[in-house]
Amino acid sequence: ATKFWILSNPEFLAEGTAMKDLDKPDRVLIGGQAEEAIGVLVDIYAHWVPRERILTTNLWSSELSKLVANAMLAQRVSSINSIARLCERTGADVGEVSRAIGTDTRIGPKFLNASIGFGGSCFQKDIL
């Protein structure tokens, strides 16, 4: 009899940099129950991704990690948009505030550009 295993391998590709993200991912996440199946997929990725960047979890942790990552990024965009409104009312410059808080190593500079909201193909569906 043929064995089948279900694995979760969510992608973390950003719009506009998908090919670069696929070639040099900051992490690969593989979730499942069958260690043998997980090992096979780890070995495939290990041809171009350093093993320390390949994370393995159970199936549900993998799926939830993808949704939580997108929810946190959407929250970050939403927060900087709220800060932008505060800047407009107080005379502060949101670009200067973003740069100042982005240099804090605990925060970092990504997703600190104020805009009309968050969008893209993932944030909307993953936070509902």
Q: Do residues 69 and 12 make contact, with C-beta atoms less than 8 angstroms apart?
A: yes
- What are the residues whose beta carbons fall under 8 Å from the beta carbon of 28, sequence distance 6 or more? 9, 45, 49, 53, 54, 55
Same domain, 89 and 116: yes
Band of residue 125 on the pLDDT scale cut at 50, 70, 90: low
Q: Do residues 38 and 56 make contact, with C-beta atoms less than 8 angstroms apart?
A: yes
Number of domains in the chain: 2
Boundary of a domain, candidates 40, 57, 74: 57
Same domain, 50 and 103: no
Boundary of a domain, candidates 15, 40, 57: 57
Residue positions annotated with a catalytic role:
122
Each residue's pLDDT tens digit, 13-71: 888 899 999 999 999 999 999 999 999 999 999 999 999 999 999 999 999 999 999 99
- pTM for the model: 0.79
Same domain, 68 and 101: yes
How is the beta sheet containing 54-57 ordered, strand by strand? 7-8, 28-32, 54-57
